Amino acid sequence: MKSFGIEFVPMELFWRTTYYTIQAEHLGYDSIWITDHFNNRNVYVSLSVIANYTERIKLGPGVTNPYLVHPVMTAQSVASLNEVASGRVICGIGAGDRTTLEMVGVEMKAPLRTVREAVEIIRRQIVREKGSYEGRLFKTSAGARFNFKVNDGIPIYIGAQGPKMLQLAGAIGDGALINASHPDDIERAVTYIRKGAEKAGRDPKEIDIAAYTSFSVAENEKSARKPVTPVVAYIVAGSPPFILEKHDIKVEKAEKIRSDLANRKWGEAFGAVNDHMIDTFAVCGSPDQCTEKIDNLFKTGITHFVTGSPLGPNIRASINLFGLEVLPNFKEQP
């Protein structure tokens, strides 16, 4: 079964983001992911408002990280949100964006261990497991147990890009959010996720594998490509060297973009993004072009496609365009 999600960056007023989510639910999207960055509006405030104005669609952070937010607090947040949207809450968690973390002086240390322990703690908290937790990086005492009951299970999706994190997602995640848009990268990622699942004794089919893409749709390709430039700049800046080298993008160029972003030199950072970078790190084009690209991505083995930021030159129009001209090619309308 093919599922479709949509990501929103809470840069705009709450009512605007909420309106977009109502629109997405009406058009047949299956999930809503709200990004968690300190320089935008708070993810859980946004999700709480959205939960009150939607009925069916699943929703959650996409993704939060355990460096700026302790996993106990993430567990508390998604558990509390579940009381507003019972049975609809999902939780996306990953190591975070290195460029953003550096802005506040936080070092991304031991990402695999950090994410693994964070997932373990969140799950323990949600089921109110007794006893203490003794990890290498995180520790909780028996007294950290919630004083309230969580009535529903909350699936945890692990955001991943590198081979080891992808395997971890396969080993312990309910789902995986592949931070990629190129078919070759996604096919490779699916292989690692399945490998991780099999090594852990799991059936890979149990894992909801999502391509979490930078996406833009418009009536014509030219209009669709322009809005993805800033997003692609951040993706290039945060991509590991092996990904850059695989796609013939010089690591030095990516480092320069990262530095310009950190120093808020937007013109220089965005101006360094070329068509090759956009084709590598985004899915964009007309409805017909997007339909073809998405169909090719499903052939890699994913089960979930997420239309990530920027969505298009006009958010409202692009959501409609996708919902009315792309989505019906893959599923029946509600």
Residue 274 lies in a domain: no
Model pTM?
0.94
The answer to whether residues 122 and 75 touch, using CB atoms and an 8 Å cutoff, is: yes
Residue 260 lies in a domain: no
Residue 276 lies in a domain: no
Q: Report angle CA 71, 54, 89 to the nearest 5 degrees.
A: 25
Burial (CB count within 10 angstroms: exposed 0-12, middle 13-18, buried 19+), residue 43: buried
Residue 27, domain extent: 3-222+285-329
CATH number at residue 100: 3.20.20.30
Q: How far apart are CA 189 and CA 243, in angstroms?
A: 12
Residue 246 lies in a domain: no
The residue type found at 81 is L
Closest by Cα among 166, 143, 38, 40 to 94 = 166
Three-state DSSP class for residue 266: helix
Residue 261 lies in a domain: no
The whole-number pLDDT of residue 333 equals 53
Q: How far apart are CA 150 and CA 158, in angstroms?
A: 21
User: In a structure prediction context, what are the per-residue pLDDT tens digits for the chain, which is 334 residues long?
Assistant: 899 999 999 999 999 999 999 999 999 999 999 999 999 999 999 999 999 999 999 999 999 999 999 999 999 999 999 999 999 999 999 999 887 898 899 999 999 999 999 999 999 999 999 999 999 999 999 999 999 999 999 999 999 989 999 999 999 999 999 999 999 999 999 999 999 999 999 999 999 999 999 999 999 999 999 999 999 998 999 888 988 999 999 999 999 999 999 899 999 999 999 999 999 999 999 999 999 999 999 999 999 999 999 999 999 999 999 999 999 999 865 4
The whole-number pLDDT of residue 100 equals 85
The answer to whether residues 304 and 211 touch, using CB atoms and an 8 Å cutoff, is: yes
The answer to whether residues 100 and 69 touch, using CB atoms and an 8 Å cutoff, is: no
Residue 32 lies in a domain: yes
Number of structural domains found in the chain: 1
Distance set, CA 312 to CA 192, 203, 227 (Å): 31, 36, 6
Residue 91 lies in a domain: yes
CB within 8 A of 259, min separation 6: which ones?
Answer: none
Residue 278 lies in a domain: no
Pairing of strands 283-285, 304-311: unpaired
DSSP letters spanning 47-105: HHHHHHT-SS-EEEES-B-TTTS-HHHHHHHHHHHHHHSTT-B-EEE-S--HHHHHHTT
* Residue with the two structure tokens 């990953």: 94
Our CA dihedral for 155, 52, 33, 233, rounded to 10 degrees, sits at -160
Give the count of beta carbons closer than 10 Å to the beta carbon of residue 248: 8
Look at the chain and count its residues.
Answer: 334
